Amino acid sequence: MRLWASEGDEAGPERLDPRIIQHVAVVIPVHNEEQHLKQALAAVGSAADLLESERPGVEVQVVVVLDSCTDASSLIAAATAEADPRFHILPVSFGSVGKSRRAGVNAALENVSTRPHDENAAAGDPMQWVWVANTDADSSVPGRWLVRQLELAASGSDVVLGTVHPDPHGMHHELVARWHARHASTEDHPHVYGANLGVRASSYLAAGGFPGVDFDEDRALVDRLRAGGADIIATDTTRILTSGRTAGRAPKGFAAYLLALTQP
């Protein structure tokens, strides 16, 4: 579906509505996630299927960034990519989630911007019709994850901050209770999670993208987006399930935060 500006619009009748997304890039950084990766990729694939069924004109690509993996993550990702051409593998050796996210987004946007048949390019910056959805390799997105993000983008949002819910399986009941006491699942929540973050590509690039840091790259990006005047919405309608482990892959990441909650 393509919505064009009306003849009364100041930009004239040939301008594609900048709120309507035409391309979606999902970026997933991975470092030794063989326990969760297959489920994570399957969930993203299902969300992409639903989006394409409801909006057939939208193209979806998924960039799986394999950062210094020494377990079976590479094999799992390769099997998924072989079965589904929307999935692309990017091997890197950063040892940094910020650099991995940044490289994944760069690769995805290069794939979009170099398409010579992009008929929207003449109507303005093609990156305004590209949406970058970020999640993690130990997380499972809901079926309408992408559909909902694009609904919010169509209403004018440049950034969608979603919520996460740690998988209570294997978590101590006291830790689960402490989490819920500090993280009410509501609209207009104050949280930022790289595992559930969507952003319009033009806004992402204007903000300078993810910084190449080892932690808090998601918060740093959102701070930049806020400073640049991006339209940001925080919602619980895209909630994902993430691992409730307390031994994580990134320093000061989500697992480290859960570990801190176990302390009296």
β-pair partners for 233: 160
Q: What's the confidence (pLDDT) of residue 233?
A: 98
* Domain-located, residue 43: yes
* Domain-located, residue 15: no
* Domain-located, residue 11: no
In this prediction, residue 245 has a pLDDT band, given cuts at 50, 70 and 90, of low
Q: Which two tokens stand for residue 41?
A: 């990729």
In this prediction, residue 260 has a pLDDT band, given cuts at 50, 70 and 90, of low
* pLDDT tens figures, 99-121: 999 999 999 999 885 454 445 44
Mean pLDDT over 34-47 rounds to 97
In this prediction, residue 130 has a pLDDT band, given cuts at 50, 70 and 90, of very high
In this prediction, residue 252 has a pLDDT band, given cuts at 50, 70 and 90, of low
Instruction: Say what the pTM is.
Output: 0.84
Q: Which two tokens stand for residue 234?
A: 């925080």
User: Is 244 a residue whose pLDDT tops 60?
Assistant: no
* Domain-located, residue 204: yes
* Domain-located, residue 51: yes
Q: How far apart are CA 17 and CA 11, in angstroms?
A: 10
* Domain-located, residue 8: no
Where in the sequence is the domain holding 188, given as residue range(s)? 23-261
In this prediction, residue 186 has a pLDDT band, given cuts at 50, 70 and 90, of confident
* Domain-located, residue 179: yes
Phi then psi for 179, rounded to 5 degrees?
-60, -50
Number of domains composing the chain: 1
CATH code of residue 40? 3.90.550.10
Q: What's the confidence (pLDDT) of residue 242?
A: 85
In this prediction, residue 185 has a pLDDT band, given cuts at 50, 70 and 90, of confident
Q: What's the confidence (pLDDT) of residue 8?
A: 39
* Domain-located, residue 18: no
β-pair partners for 140: 241
Helix/strand/coil (H/E/C) assignment for every residue in the chain? CCCECCCCCCCCCCCECCCCCCEEEEEEEECCCCCCHHHHHHHHHHHHHHHHHHCCCCEEEEEEEEECCCCCHHHHHHHHHHHCCCEEEEEECCCCHHHHHHHHHHHHHHHHHCCCCCCCHHHCCHHHHEEEEECCCCEECCCCHHHHHHHHHHCCCCEEECCEEECCCCCCHHHHHHHHHHCCCCCCCCCCCHHHEEEEHHHHHHCCCCCCCCCCHHHHHHHHHHHCCCCEEECCCCCEEECCCCCCCCCCCHHHHHHHHCCC
